[in-house]
A = this chain, B = another copy of it.
């Protein structure tokens, strides 16, 4: 329980109305309970928030006052994120290795590591300080995991994978599986050994059941700060830049390279061996088949500049009507020809 003015100090905001009101929890507009604080990011939902049971509302600058008390901040979503953490402190894990966990030979463990039941760590792997490894995780040989990373249950990490600091990997993700590489010989496929590895830099988050293949040779690389949603496929030798966001069910085929701060919306596909420039945005379900310059914004199948794709999509809806119009024109022209050319 906090006074609203304490929360304002914490997130750097200004109270409008009663500073002394006691805040007992936090929630979204639809689930906040009486006594809690909620958040309004846009005017669209302000009425719903005002009508709800919240004791206070976080609002952005310029939003007209609907109901006090309010906590006005520059970035309501950020303030909300911080207060969510305040009211829901992250789980503390008792340092230690569960007796049913299996550690290989030469495993190195940093201080205050937590390794849950039935996790397996292969020979010579190095686990950084305060790393949390949930039950059922299988880490192979020669893996490195940086400080403060969290590996959720039943994740699979194959040999030689390198994972940075503060990385979060959600349940069921598979890192370092063989890339999809075969040589066709006389109508059959001969496997190309996949002897490269996967490197995940600091502050990356990977969703549940994501798959990231090891490189054929060299490295499949996910750079610092990139966030991936669930059920994403990253092919061998892909490089994803820093601070990218990739939404669920997208796939990036082998050897493609994303610059920094690229956004890929859900169910998008990127073919192999292309390069996506920094700060590009790829809309949901796009199929990108060519290189994109920096600051591109594309959509569609195949992906086009978004404005053009919108024009094309709108035009497509008019084609049934257009067919009629043209048939009619043909008749009118034929009639004219009958009169004029005879």
Q: Is A92 an interface residue (CB 8 A)?
A: no
**Cα-based distance from A85 to B194 in the complex (angstroms):** 9
Q: Per a CB cutoff under 8 Å, which of B235, B267, B322 touches A269?
A: B267
Question: 0/1 per residue, A245-288, Cβ < 8 Å to B?
Answer: 10111010100000001000011010100000000000011010
Structural contact, B249 and A249, CB atoms closer than 8 A: yes
Residue of B nearest to A247 (CB): B180
Query: Which of A5-13, A16-24, A106-114, A225-233 contacts its partner?
Result: A225-233
- Which chain B residues lie closer than 8 Å to A209 at the CB level? 172, 174, 209, 211, 231
How many residues on the A side are at the interface (Cβ–Cβ under 8 A)? 116
Asked if A64 lies at the interface with its beta carbon under 8 angstroms from chain B, I say no
Mask of A304-324 contacts with B, CB within 8 angstroms, 1/0: 100000011111111110110
Question: CB-CB contacts of A88-119 with B at 8 A, as 1s and 0s?
Answer: 10110000001010100000000000001110
Output the nearest chain B residue to A246 by Cβ-Cβ distance: B180
- In the complex, chain B residues whose CB is within 8 Å of the CB of A312: 316-317, 319-320
* Complex Cα–Cα for A95 and B183 (A): 30
Which chain B residue lies CB-closest to A251? Answer: B249
Task: Write out the residue numbers on chain B whose beta carbons fall within 8 Å of the beta carbon of A77.
Answer: 183, 192
Interface residues of A in 95-154 (CB under 8 A from B): 98, 100, 102, 116-118, 120, 134-136, 138, 140, 152-154
Whether B302 lies near A313 (C-beta < 8 A) is: yes
Whether the Cβ atoms of A177 and B152 lie closer than 8 Å is: yes
> Bound state CA distance, A158 and B136, in angstroms?
13
Q: Does A165 contact B (CB under 8 A)?
A: no
A63 contacts partner chain B, Cβ-Cβ < 8 Å: no
Asked if residues A84 and B189 are in contact (CB atoms below 8 Å), the reply is no
Interface string of A63-95 (1 = CB under 8 A from B): 000000000000101101100110110110000
| In the complex, A61 has a CB within 8 A of chain B | no
A-B contact pairs, 14 of them (CB 8 A): A138-B154, A168-B178, A170-B177, A180-B227, A188-B225, A189-B245, A211-B248, A269-B284, A311-B320, A312-B316, A318-B319, A322-B322, A326-B329, A329-B330
